[in-house]
Structure 1
C-alpha cells in the first residue's frame, strides 16, 4: 500500500512538473525582432524584406497599422514564370493574372491580406457615404498569417509564404476547364523560392514553386508534362507601389477604341451618370506643360525579350517602334521607344514593359496585356506575349503560295522577308493593346488604317503569278494616329469630345463585340479580311487561291521534307478565301453603324444597300460551285503520301479529316470549304434579319430569295469529275438548313420559310430522273432523308456527316479581345 502511494505521489509530481513546463513554454516571450532578423539578409525597397536562403524563408516588414488597421496598400498581380506550353490551356510563360488593390491589415495577433473593391465607391461623398459604398460590396480576404515579431517602431514581420503558395493564378480551375484533370496542391512540393526574392524602391518581386497532383490528366498534360500526374509552376507575385495622385483619369469615349475600366460612383450628381468608364493609358507628363510639343518626364519604354532570335528580334523592335510616330504627332517628343531587354534583367520585373517571346507546342494567339490601377485606369506595366510559332505558320503559308524555293532569295517574294514584315505588324498590334487600344476590325476596309486590325497580305496577280511587294503596310495608319492623339494628348474635355466626333465622321471603328460572331450584323467588322469592296476582294482571293492550287505540289516543300507534309501546307491554301467569305457574308442582312453618342450625327444604323447584298450573295454562291472546289489530279497523287514514326500534334490537328482511311479524301476538303460558306451565310441571326428586312422594305434581299439563289446553284447538274464535289456540297447544304430547324435560334417565320423550301426540295429530289445512276440515287436518298424526321434527327444527332474544318485562326481561345 505504501508502495502504491509513493508511486502515485511521484506520478502526480511528474504531471505537475510537466504542466508547469508547458505553461512556462506557453507564456515564454516570442523571439525578439532583433533575434528574428539576425541571421537573415535584409533587402530594402518598397517594403523591407528579410531572406534566409538556407531555411527557405522570406519575411516582409509591414508598417504600423493606421486607425483602420491597414498597414499598407499596393497593386498586386501574379505572372507565370513557367507555363504549360499549350494553346489549349492558355497558361503561358509570362502570362499576367488579375490585378488587384491589396491591403495588409492587422486584426489582433494576425495580419490579413485582402483584395479591396474600388469599382464601387463614393469619391465626392462624405466619410459616411464613402464608408457605405465601400461596405456595401464584398471584398476578398485571401490570406492570414501570424505576426512573427514586432519592431520597436510598431512595424511587424510576417512570413509571406502562405500568401505566395496559394493558387493565386487560378491554375487549378484553368486546367479543369480545359479538360486536363482535377488538381490538388502537394504541400511537400510547394514552397517559396527565396533566391527569386527581389526588392526595389517601387516594387517587390517574389516567387513560389507550386506543384499539383493531377487526377485524370488530359491529353495536353499527357503530351507535354514529363510526369502528367505531377505538374509544377513557378508563379511570380509583384507588389507595386500605388501611383501618386498626380495622374489625371480620362473619361472613356466609345468612339475612340480605348480599353476602359468600369467604376460605379454613388456620389455622382443625380443628373450625371453613376456608372462611368475610365480610359486605360500610361501616364505621360510633359516637361513643358505649356508647349504644344514637348519632351516628357518619363517616357514609355518597351523592351524586347532577348529570347527572341535574330532576325526576329530586330523585326520586333522595328514594328513596336512604329508607335513613336503616333506619339510624336500627339505632341510628345521622344516619349515612346523600344529597346532590347538588357542582359540579366528579369522580364517579369514590374518596372519593365516587355515584349515576351513565348514558345508553345502548337501555334496560338499572341496577347497584349496591361497591369492597370483599378481606381484610375492608369497603366503601370505593359506586357506582350508573342507566340513563336506564328512566324513559322506564316512561312508555311507563303511557301505554299509562291514556293519554298523562294525562301532565302531576299526578294519581295521571299517567304522569310514577307513573314518578317508580318511579325513587325504583330509586334505593333500587341503593343497597341498594352498601351490601351482595342481592336479596330474595320480598318482593313479603309486603306489599312490601323495595325489594330488582323491583317492579311495584299497579293498582286502579275503575269499569271503572285507578287508580294506590298504585302503588309509599314508604320501607323490614320486610325492609330487618331486613337493615340485622343487617348494621350493634353486636352480639355470639350477638345477631346470634338476629336472623338471628328474621328467617328472620318474613320470606321468596329471592335470585338461586333466582329467575332459569324452572325454579327455589323457589315464592316471582320477578321483577316481586306479591301474597301469585300465582294471584289473575294473574287480576287479566289483567283489567288486558284493560281496557288494549280501550281501547288513538291515546290511548296523545303528540301528534305516528308511529302506527307503537303497535307498540312494544303489547308491554308485551299481555304485561303475563308475569312473573306465571312466578310462578304456580313453584307447579307448587314447594317452599318458605329458607337455613337447623342448629337454626333451617327445615331442611326443603316442597312447595306440591296444591290450590294445581292452582289455579296452571288459572290458567296460562287464559292460553292464544284469547279471552285476541285483539286487538280496530279496533286491528289502527292497527297496520298504517308508518314511513318510518331505523330506531330501540330500536323495532326491541322489537316483535313477523311473517310478514305489513311489516304487523302478530297471530298472532305470540299465539305470543309462548303461549311465555311454555309455556316457564315446561314447564321441564325442573319436569317432572322433577312426575314425582317423583307417586312420593312419589299425591295430588300429576303430569306426566300437567298435560299433560292443558293439551292438553284448548288443543285445545278454537274458531270464527270465535278459530280462528286457537287454532291458533297448538295448534302452539306440540305443538312445545314435542316439542322437549323432543330435549334432555338430561328424565329417562327424563319423556320417556316426554310421548312417550306426544304419540303419543295425534298419533293424534287425524290422525283429525280438524273441520267447518272449515282446522282439519281443520291438525289432520292437526300430527298427521302429531308422528310423523314426520325432518320434526319438520327443523322444530325450522330454527326455522321460532320467534317471538322481545320483551324485557321491561332489555336486556343475562340474569343480573344486583346490578342491576335
Structure 2
C-alpha cells in the first residue's frame, strides 16, 4: 500500500476511487447541512409573535409594539393589514433657529398610509388622495387609482407572523431623517448632513401607546461639515446636529363628520382634490373647509352645549405672566362660538401633568424657545379625505414678547432716575401675547389671515396688528389701546359660517348662503396672504402690520408720532447699568416706526380695490383707487424720504458709541459703512431705499401706465416720475447733515429709477417712459456740472457716471445695493409657514 507524504497546507494524494467516494460523501453532507439550514430558516419564519418577542416589553395600543432592550429595537405588531391610517412625522426637539425654521413641535408630513403584504415583504403604501372617484362604483374608483402613481414610503421584512398579525422591525424606519433636516440645511447653505445610525437611537420615554394612536420617537444625529453661521450658532458641535424626530400612527376618524363646501369669501383653508366621478357639468376640483368636528346637543336651540367641546391645552412650560395671557387670549374664541349658538364649546386648560402632548386627543398650545425672535405658528393634523382637523397645534416663539417690551421702552422712555419701571411696558407686551395666542389658535380652527380687517376697527385677530400708538396733547405716549382685546366681529362671522350646526333636516347650502349674504351686507371683506404679500401688491386695504381705515392718513399720523419720539429720544430708553451702545437697539423700531405703513400707502398708488366675488353675490368686483387718494399716498410716501424726516438729533447721535466688547452688532442693529461707529447716513439709506423700492416696483409702474391708458384721469407713470424727480433731484440744494441726506436720497432715487428701466418684466410703455425720464435727468445733470456749488457738481458727476454705466449695457445693469433695514418681521406672527 502506497502512502503519500503529507505536506503543509495540502491534501494527501488519494487514488481515484477513494477520491470519488470522498466526493459523494462531502456532497451528501452538504445537502444535509443545507436542508438543516432551510429547515431552521423555515422554523424561524414560522415563529409565533410570542416566541419572537419573549422577554420584550409590550406596549398595548392602536398598534401594539415591543421594546427589545438588548437590541435597542422596536418591533411593531401589524394587526391592521390593508387598513388605512394616518401617519404624521414631527420634530419634538428642534434646532432652535428661526432662520432655519426647524422648531420644537413642528409638524412634518401628514399622509394616509396602509400596510400591505406581498410575500415576505410588508410595504407601507401611501394612496394618492389628490385624485379620486367619490363613487359607489368600485370599477370607477379603481380606474382612478390605477391612473395615478402611489408611493411606497418604506418596506419591511416579516420577522414573525400569527394568523393575520405580522411582526416587523420598525427601528430602521425610526432612525432615518424623516423630517428632511439634512436637505433643509443643505438648501440653506449650512452644510451637507446625513443621519448617522451609530449616534441615533430609539427614545423610549416618548414612545407610547394610546387607544387611537401609537407614538414613536428617536434621537437622531445628523453629521456633516458645518458651513453656515446659523447652524454654528445653535449647536455645541455644528458637525453633529442632534434632534428628536417623532412618528405617529393614528386611527382615522369615523364617517360621522360632514364635510362643508368651501367658499373663497369665508376665510377658511381648503382641502382640495379632483373627483373624477363628478358630472361633466360640475367642477371636477372639489374643495372642502378645513375645520374641527363640532355638533350641538340640540341644533334647534338658540344656545346649546356641544356634544364634545373643543378643548385646547397649554404647555406647562410657559411661565407667568405669559401663561395667564396665553390662556386668556386663546379663550377669546369662545366668544365667537357663543355668537354661533354654542355654550362653552371652546375651552382652554393647562395640560395635565400626566398628559403626553403627543397624544392625538390633545389640541396643544406650546411655548417654543429659539436663539432669535421668530415666527409663531398655528398648524393642524387633518384628515386628507375630508379636511377634518384631528389635532390643532400652536407654537409660540418665546422671544417675540421681548421685542414688544423693547418697543414699549422706546415709546415710553421710562427709565427716569430714581423712578421704578412703568407698568405700561409689561402691559403692552402681555396684551400682544393675548392677541398672538388668539391669532395662532385661529389658524388651527381652519382660518386664513384676513389682512383687510385692520381697516375696519381691527375686526379680526387674524390680521397682523401694528400697536396703536396715540399721542396725548402734552406729547406723551398713550398705549392703553396698543392691541385689541377680545375676538373680532369678522371672526364671529367666520366661525358662524364654518361651525354652525344646522341639524340633519336643514338645507345647509341655503343656510350657509344666508350667512354669507349677511356677512357681505354688513360690509366685511376677506383679503388674504397672496394679495397682501405679493411684490407690487395692489389691494389698498390688504397689508401686514398696518392700522387705520386709510393707509396714507395713518402714515402721516405715524410720521408725526415718530418726529416727536425722535426729538426727545435719550438714554431714558435704557435701564440703569446697560451699555450706552444698546441705545441703538431701542432706537431701531422708533426710527423705522413707519416701515410697514409705507408698504400699505404704496399700495394705494396704482391700486385696485377688488373682492373674491362670486357671480351674482352683489359685491363690487373691481374699482380703481381715486386719483385724489393716490396722490395723497404719493405725498405721504415722499415725506418719509425727506432729509429732515430722515435726520436724527445731534444730541442723540452723540450718545451712541461703538459697541463694547461682547456686545457685537446683530440683526437688530443698523448696518454701517463707517466701521465701528454708528452710521447715521446708513440708517437713513435703509429707510429711504425701502420707500423707493415700493414706490417704483415694476408691477406698480405697469399698473400706473395701464390704468392711465384706460382712464386718463388716473395718475400715469410719467406724472409720478415727474413729481418724484422734482422733489428729489429738483429740490433746493441743502448743506451739512441734511445736505448729505439729500444727496443720499437723490442717488437712491436714480438707482431705483435705473433698476426699473432695466427690469425685464417691465412692459414697453414703462421702459419707454422711464428711459425718457432718465434722459431728461441726464440733461439736467450735465447742466449741474457747471454749477458754482462744489457739492452739486460732485453729485452731478456721480449721477452721470451711474447713468453711463447703465447706458453701456442696460440689460446687465445692477443698481448699487442699499444698506438693508434691520430685521423687522416678525413684529407679529405667521403660520404661513406654518400652514
User: Per the shorter chain, which TM-score range?
Assistant: over 0.9
| 1:172 equivalent in alignment to 2:187 | no
The residue correspondences of 1:753-768 to structure 2 (distance < 5 A) are 753-768=769-784
Q: Comparing 608-617 with 409-418, which one deviates more in the overlay?
A: 409-418
Partner residue of 2:825? 809
Give the superposition deviation at 1:58.
Answer: 1.6
Q: Which of 710, 715, 737 lines up with 1:721 in the alignment?
A: 737
| 1:150 equivalent in alignment to 2:166 | no
Q: Is the 8 A contact 1:57 1:192 kept in 2?
A: yes
Q: Is the 8 A contact 2:208 2:216 kept in 1?
A: yes
* Cα distance in 2, alignment partners of residues 476 and 387 from structure 1: 21
Partner residue of 2:597? 580
| 1:444 equivalent in alignment to 2:444 | no
Q: Comparing 402-411 with 764-773, which one deviates more in the overlay?
A: 402-411
Q: Is the 8 A contact 2:295 2:501 kept in 1?
A: no
Q: Which of 682, 688, 692 lines up with 2:702 in the alignment?
A: 688
Partner residue of 1:618? 635
* Cα distance in 2, alignment partners of residues 122 and 412 from structure 1: 63
Q: Is the 8 A contact 1:362 1:811 kept in 2?
A: no
Give the superposition deviation at 1:26.
Answer: 2.7
| 1:634 equivalent in alignment to 2:651 | yes
Partner residue of 1:488? 499
| 1:236 equivalent in alignment to 2:246 | yes
Q: Comparing 507-516 with 768-777, which one deviates more in the overlay?
A: 768-777
Partner residue of 1:558? 575
Q: Is the 8 A contact 2:77 2:166 kept in 1?
A: yes
| 1:107 equivalent in alignment to 2:118 | yes
* Cα distance in 2, alignment partners of residues 671 and 792 from structure 1: 26
Unaligned 5+ residue runs, structure 1? none
Please give the per-residue CA displacement for 1:446-489, whole angstroms capped at 9, x wherever unaligned: 00000000001111111112111111110011110000000100
Q: Which of 43, 64, 88 lines up with 1:48 in the alignment?
A: 64
Q: Which of 324, 328, 332 lines up with 2:338 in the alignment?
A: 328
Give the superposition deviation at 1:811.
Answer: 9.3
Give the superposition deviation at 1:592.
Answer: 0.8
Give the superposition deviation at 1:103.
Answer: 0.7
Partner residue of 2:39? 27
* Cα distance in 1, alignment partners of residues 169 and 569 from structure 2: 64
Partner residue of 1:644? 661
Shift of the 135–617 alpha-carbon distance from structure 1 to 2, 3 Å rule, reads same
Q: Is the 8 A contact 2:757 2:766 kept in 1?
A: no
Q: Secondary structure at the match of 2:515?
A: helix
Q: Is the 8 A contact 1:444 1:455 kept in 2?
A: yes
The residue correspondences of 1:460-539 to structure 2 (distance < 5 A) are 460-462=470-472, 463-491=474-502, 492-505=508-521, 506-539=523-556
Q: Secondary structure at the match of 1:85?
A: coil
* Cα distance in 2, alignment partners of residues 477 and 309 from structure 1: 27
Q: Which of 101, 126, 137 lines up with 1:126 in the alignment?
A: 137
* Cα distance in 2, alignment partners of residues 83 and 818 from structure 1: 16
Q: Is the 8 A contact 1:640 1:664 kept in 2?
A: yes
| 1:261 equivalent in alignment to 2:271 | yes
Please give the per-residue CA displacement for 1:387-421, whole angstroms capped at 9, x wherever unaligned: 11100111111111112428999998621110100
Q: Is the 8 A contact 1:766 1:781 kept in 2?
A: no
Give the superposition deviation at 1:15.
Answer: 7.0
Q: Comparing 710-719 with 525-534, which one deviates more in the overlay?
A: 710-719
Give the superposition deviation at 1:299.
Answer: 1.1
Q: Secondary structure at the match of 1:493?
A: helix
Partner residue of 2:667? 653
Q: Is the 8 A contact 1:125 1:267 kept in 2?
A: no
Partner residue of 1:667? 681
Q: Which of 770, 794, 803 lines up with 1:777 in the alignment?
A: 794
* Cα distance in 2, alignment partners of residues 216 and 113 from structure 1: 34
Q: Secondary structure at the match of 1:250?
A: coil
Q: Is the 8 A contact 1:448 1:473 kept in 2?
A: yes
TM-score by length of 2: 0.93
Unaligned 5+ residue runs, structure 2? 5-11, 503-507
Partner residue of 1:391? 401
Partner residue of 2:14? 5
* Cα distance in 1, alignment partners of residues 280 and 748 from structure 2: 57
* Cα distance in 1, alignment partners of residues 151 and 475 from structure 2: 65
Partner residue of 1:139? 150
* Cα distance in 2, alignment partners of residues 819 and 550 from structure 1: 40
Please give the per-residue CA displacement for 1:244-290, whole angstroms capped at 9, x wherever unaligned: 00000001000010011111110001221110111000001222233
Shift of the 635–16 alpha-carbon distance from structure 1 to 2, 3 Å rule, reads farther
Give the superposition deviation at 1:602.
Answer: 2.0
Give the superposition deviation at 1:333.
Answer: 1.1
Q: Is the 8 A contact 2:337 2:346 kept in 1?
A: yes
Shift of the 816–286 alpha-carbon distance from structure 1 to 2, 3 Å rule, reads closer
Q: Is the 8 A contact 2:612 2:621 kept in 1?
A: no
Shift of the 736–323 alpha-carbon distance from structure 1 to 2, 3 Å rule, reads same
Shift of the 687–307 alpha-carbon distance from structure 1 to 2, 3 Å rule, reads same
The residue correspondences of 1:569-608 to structure 2 (distance < 5 A) are 569-602=586-619, 604-608=621-625
Q: Which of 355, 358, 366 lines up with 1:348 in the alignment?
A: 358
* Cα distance in 2, alignment partners of residues 241 and 376 from structure 1: 14
Please give the per-residue CA displacement for 1:147-193, whole angstroms capped at 9, x wherever unaligned: 11112x32111221122223222212211111111122212223323
Q: Which of 97, 112, 116 lines up with 1:86 in the alignment?
A: 97
Q: Is the 8 A contact 2:115 2:122 kept in 1?
A: yes
Q: Comparing 208-217 with 126-135, which one deviates more in the overlay?
A: 208-217
Please give the per-residue CA displacement for 1:498-528, whole angstroms capped at 9, x wherever unaligned: 2123323421211001001241111110000
Shift of the 728–537 alpha-carbon distance from structure 1 to 2, 3 Å rule, reads same
Please give the per-residue CA displacement for 1:639-672, whole angstroms capped at 9, x wherever unaligned: 233221364xxx5122111211110111111111
Q: Is the 8 A contact 1:444 1:529 kept in 2?
A: yes
* Cα distance in 2, alignment partners of residues 761 and 413 from structure 1: 54
Q: Is the 8 A contact 2:193 2:223 kept in 1?
A: yes
Partner residue of 1:162? 172
| 1:739 equivalent in alignment to 2:755 | yes
Give the superposition deviation at 1:228.
Answer: 1.4
TM-score by length of 1: 0.95
Partner residue of 1:288? 298
Please give the per-residue CA displacement for 1:122-170, whole angstroms capped at 9, x wherever unaligned: 112511110111221111101111111112x321112211222232222
* Cα distance in 2, alignment partners of residues 504 and 443 from structure 1: 14
Q: Comparing 276-285 with 56-65, which one deviates more in the overlay?
A: 56-65
Q: Is the 8 A contact 1:327 1:336 kept in 2?
A: yes
* Cα distance in 2, alignment partners of residues 272 and 790 from structure 1: 55
Q: Secondary structure at the match of 2:758?
A: coil
* Cα distance in 2, alignment partners of residues 472 and 634 from structure 1: 32
Q: Is the 8 A contact 2:405 2:425 kept in 1?
A: yes
Q: Comparing 315-324 with 486-495, which one deviates more in the overlay?
A: 486-495
Shift of the 310–634 alpha-carbon distance from structure 1 to 2, 3 Å rule, reads same
Q: How many matched pairs?
A: 809
What CA RMSD, in Å, does the superposition of the two structures yield over aligned residues? 2.3
Partner residue of 1:425? 435
Q: Is the 8 A contact 1:438 1:818 kept in 2?
A: no
Shift of the 800–615 alpha-carbon distance from structure 1 to 2, 3 Å rule, reads closer
* Cα distance in 1, alignment partners of residues 792 and 96 from structure 2: 49
* Cα distance in 1, alignment partners of residues 792 and 809 from structure 2: 20
Shift of the 12–409 alpha-carbon distance from structure 1 to 2, 3 Å rule, reads farther
Q: Is the 8 A contact 1:249 1:278 kept in 2?
A: yes
Q: Is the 8 A contact 2:465 2:828 kept in 1?
A: no
Shift of the 15–371 alpha-carbon distance from structure 1 to 2, 3 Å rule, reads same
Partner residue of 1:701? 715
| 1:366 equivalent in alignment to 2:376 | yes
Q: Secondary structure at the match of 2:278?
A: coil
Q: Is the 8 A contact 2:708 2:714 kept in 1?
A: yes
